[in-house]
Each structure stands twice: as C-alpha cells, then as structure tokens.
Amino acid sequence: PKPEDSPPLLMSFNRYIKTNVPYTYDRNDTASLDFIRSYEYALKQSTKIAALIDLTTNNTRPCQDGKPTDLILYLSCIGQRSLLELSDQYLIGANVKVDTSRESLNLTGLFNNQPYHISPLTLNYLTNALLKQYSSTSEINRTITVINHPFPRSLTETVVDFQSQQFFGFRMASSIVFGFGFMMAAFSVFLIKERVSKAKHLQFLSGAGGLNFWLTTFIWDFVYYMIATIFIFIFWTIFYHTDALKDDLKVFLTGDRFGYTILLYIFYGFSHIPMTYLLSFIFQIPASGFAWLTIINIITSNN
C-alpha cells in the first residue's frame, strides 16, 4: 500500500500506561478549591490511569517530610531519587496560586517534555477544569476535546515513508525465508536417515505400502508446519495491536488480505514439503542434506 497521511490523533492518557498527577493550590481560597475540584473531576472522568497527588493536604508521600510541598521541589526530589520514575510516571502537573492584587487565579500547567503529545494534554485539562468550574450549575456535562490533525505529508516525507515500508517488507520476507528455510530442510533429515539406514526398506518389507508411508509422513510434517504457521499469525496479531507495527502489518491481517495470506501459507506447505521429499534423494548424509537444502531455500527465496 502507498504511504498515507497520518490519521487525526486524540489527545488523551489512553496512550500511556500510568501517570501520577501532582498539584498544589491555596486551600484557604474558595476559587482555588473550586478549580482544583474541577481539575480532579476532569481527570477522573477522562482516564483511569491517573493517580492524583495532592501536595497541599496529603503530606505522607516521600519527598514531602510531612508538610505541604512546593510542586517544583517535589518533582526535583523525585528526579533525584529516580530519574526513570520521573520520566515515565510524572507526565503533567498543576499549580494554582491566588493573585490577591487582581483577585484572580494564576494557573500553571507543568508537562513532561519526553512524550510528544503531553503539552497540549496539560492545557486541555486546565481548560476543562475551568469549563467545569464556570458551568457547574449546568446540567450538561461539557468537555473540550483536543485532536491533533497533522498536515499532509510533503513529497520528501512520502518518499521516506515509502522507503521505510519497503524496508519493513524486505525484513519480513528475509525473516520468513530464514525460518521456513530451516524448517523445510529439517523435514528431509529423518527421510535421509531412514533411506540410508534401510529403515524405510524394512517398513516396505513388513507390508507398509508406498502410499501409506508417504501420505502419513506428509500429514505429520504438514501438521507440524501449520502449527508453526499459527504461531506466526499469533505473533503478527500481537504486534499488530502495537502502535509501532500496526501500519506495517495491516497489509497481512486486514480485509481480504488476511484470507489471501492464509491461503498462501497453506499452498506453500502443500507444494514445498513434497519438493523437499524429492530433493532428499540427492543426499546420503542427513546433516549435509539439511545444510544444503537450507542454503537452497534461502538463496532461491522459495518462501
């Protein structure tokens, strides 16, 4: 598929695993209390992964020493204890101060600059808290949603994306070639050993027919092959649900292509396993047969 423009991205915490949200405010000011309650409500309504940390009234956490703690000092202490914890688990924060001279609130939103989309998310929660605070008498639960709609790709970006897609396809094909190359060659090892040691000849002398021998061998190898194929689809499905590989794997797992991919693997097993049986008659040493058939499979890219 050709490279496409990125879809609109909803700004939310759903893309993240866990986050702590520390905040401070003036508990003696009614407007400050109202805003922080609206801020808490906005977070609780939109996400379940945010753990609210009230640095003004709850003083039992580490880095607080049993007293109200400044937000910057608290985050600095967390960073000194564990920079990884600060980077991964502290994404946004809020500081509410009362400006007595103007009879207003000074709102400060803090954000972690490591994730790409945290800064608009910080502003979004502040604006939702303000909306909730000043529309608290309304029965309608109003919210503001922020969506990042990217610009269309330039020609250079389109070419780069196309090259990366082609490179992913090459890596995928190479991995499958190596994996199935070894597996198909392994089907010849036991056949060569049976033929050289005359074990197959003894089976024929004991009354086993050629059709029964080759049919049962094929069924066993094909079942083994299909089990490996099922595991491939399982891993593809797992990685398809990740943001990193979803766009690359959808060509195999979405729409009619999923059925085509399954049929391709089935037909490959029906065609290549008998060919491996045929080529096994060339070799007298099982290890040599395995090595040469692996090389042949990889070089010719039969997969």
Q: Between vectors from CA 239 to CA 234 and to CA 240, what angle results, nearest 5°? A: 95
pLDDT at position 302 over 60: no
pLDDT at position 284 over 70: yes
Which contacts of 3-7 are long-range, i.e. CB under 8 A and separated by 24 or more positions?
3/153, 3/158, 3/161, 3/162, 3/165, 5/150, 5/152, 5/153, 6/150, 6/153
pLDDT at position 303 over 60: no
Which one is predicted more confidently, 230 or 256?
Answer: 230
Report residue 231's pLDDT band, with 50, 70 and 90 as the boundaries: very high
- The answer to whether the pTM exceeds 0.75 is no
- The pLDDT value recorded for residue 155 is 77
Question: What percent of the chain is modeled with pLDDT above 90?
Answer: 15
Question: What percent of the chain is modeled with pLDDT above 70?
Answer: 90
Q: Which domains does the chain have, with CATH numbers?
A: 9-148 (3.40.190), 155-300 (no CATH)
Residue appearing with tokens 């080529």: 279
Nearest to 125 by CA among 32, 46, 16: 46
- The pLDDT value recorded for residue 122 is 92
Cβ atoms within 10 Å, residue 202? 11
pLDDT tens digit sequence for 144-169: 888 888 877 777 777 777 666 656 66
pLDDT tens digit sequence for 56-112: 887 777 777 767 778 888 888 888 888 888 888 899 999 998 887 767 888 999 999
Nearest to 119 by CA among 95, 148, 144, 88: 148
pLDDT tens digit sequence for 12-55: 888 787 888 999 998 888 888 989 998 998 888 888 788 888 88
Mean pLDDT of the chain: 83
